[in-house]
Amino acid sequence: MVYKLGTDIDLIMSNLEGISFHDQKVLVTGGAGFLGSWICEVLLYQGAEVICLDNLASGLKENISHLIGSDKFQFIKHDISEAISFDENIDIVIHMASRASPLEFEHYPIEILKANTIGLMVSLEIARAHGSRMVYTSTSEIYGNPQEVPTPESCYGYVNSIGPRSCYDEAKRCGEAFVTAYSAQYGLDSRIARLFNTYGPRMRADGIYGRAIPRFIDQALSGTEITVYGDGSQTRSFCYVTDQIEGILRFASMDAARGYVVNIGNDLEISILALAKKVLDITKSDSEIMYQPMPSDDPIRRRPDITRAKELLRWEPKVDLNEGLFKTIEWFKGA
């Protein structure tokens, strides 16, 4: 099977039936990244006008280069931590700008903190100036090592504020506080999406950008050792990108979702070792598994409680892990 990204875009469009962004102007910060580029593309298909703002820190111009000719698409290369304003009216701001891979936490902690605090404030000021709806993509990492699994939105989290992951976890927590404060003080129409691990085509596998799934696929396809941290018994729940994008856009579109925080992810929990074996199996690779020391503060379990997303957004994940992995592997083979 040759993977075609357009087929997945069509799938999202059909899953979003009845929802429209037609003639809405949407600013997507981090729009050249993995998730941001999918959001931009689907919004364009939905008839929206899209401003994609990105400094290309971890995103790639090639993710959006095919959109650049469209008169409804504008790309602005800019660091969102620096002030920027717009003359044109903006209906929705989706703040996604932030490096998100654990190895980046080590190399760019200050950038990450800034993107989710100062940068988010720049986005919030744009939303405030235009009376726009604000969507913030937060993360399951705000739960740290959660006290409750499956983890509901009511869980406060258990996070190390001075650990190696704190630049990301605490930046996102602070980001949520900023969004809450702007809503309380200025009456902003806002909402916070807590995304759980998402994977799929356009994820980077290279260097510091490689998260577990793209790294495993890259290693399996190139026949090099698969690196598993610890004994691999730590768990994650992986959501295929089409489900995630549908969830975010449902959340962004609904008047009734104003003021809500919603977990968006797949609630199937799998150990990292089982995931590595699955990738080996699907790719029919002979790569060996190599165990490396567990990084400190790596969460032990991740599994969202998605009751709220099901009820409020009328959304649930549809793509199972085997199918999503298969598609992602096919994309990597053709990339």
Ligand X SMILES: NC(=O)c1ccc[n+]([C@@H]2O[C@H](COP(=O)([O-])OP(=O)(O)OC[C@H]3O[C@@H](n4cnc5c(N)ncnc54)[C@H](O)[C@@H]3O)[C@@H](O)[C@H]2O)c1
Please give the Cα distance from 37 to 139 (Å, whole number): 18
In whole angstroms, the minimum distance from the beta carbon of 227 to ligand X comes to 18
| 328 belongs to the binding site for ligand X (CB under 6 A) | no
Q: Is 96 in the site for ligand X (CB under 6 A)?
A: yes
Residue 191 sits at φ, ψ, to 5 deg, of -160, 150
Rounded to the nearest whole angstrom, what is the least distance from the CB of residue 238 to ligand X in the complex?
A: 8
Write out the binding residues for ligand X, residues 198-227 only, by CB under 6 A: 198
229 is annotated as an active-site residue = no
Which residue stretch of 40-48, 95-103, 253-261, 280-288 sits at the interface with ligand X (rule: CB under 6 A)? 95-103
Beta carbon nearer to ligand X, 110 or 290: 110
- Using CB under 6 A, which of 12, 27, 35, 188 touches ligand X? 35
Interaction between residue 32 and ligand X (CB under 6 A): yes
Nearer to ligand X, 97 or 205 (CB): 97
Distance (Å, whole) CA 324 – CA 315:
18
CB of 43 to ligand X, least distance (A): 15
Burial-class residue 296 by CB neighbours within 10 Å (0-12, 13-18, 19+). exposed
* Rg over CA atoms, the chain: 19
Q: What is d(CA 205, CA 217) in angstroms, rounded to the nearest whole number?
A: 8
Examine residue 39 and tell whether it contacts ligand X (CB under 6 A): no
Q: Are 334 and 3 in contact (CB under 8 A)?
A: yes
The pair of three-digit structure tokens given for residue 212, joined into one six-digit string = 């577990």
Query: Does position 76 bind ligand X by CB under 6 A?
Result: no
Any contact of residue 267 with ligand X (CB under 6 A)? no
Alpha helix stretches (DSSP H) within the chain: 5-15, 34-45, 102-107, 109-116, 118-130, 166-186, 212-222, 241-253, 272-283, 307-313, 321-334
Nearer to ligand X by Cβ, of 19 and 56: the residue is 56
Interface residues toward ligand X, by CB under 6 A:
29-30, 32-36, 54-59, 79-81, 96-100, 115, 119, 137, 139, 195, 197-198
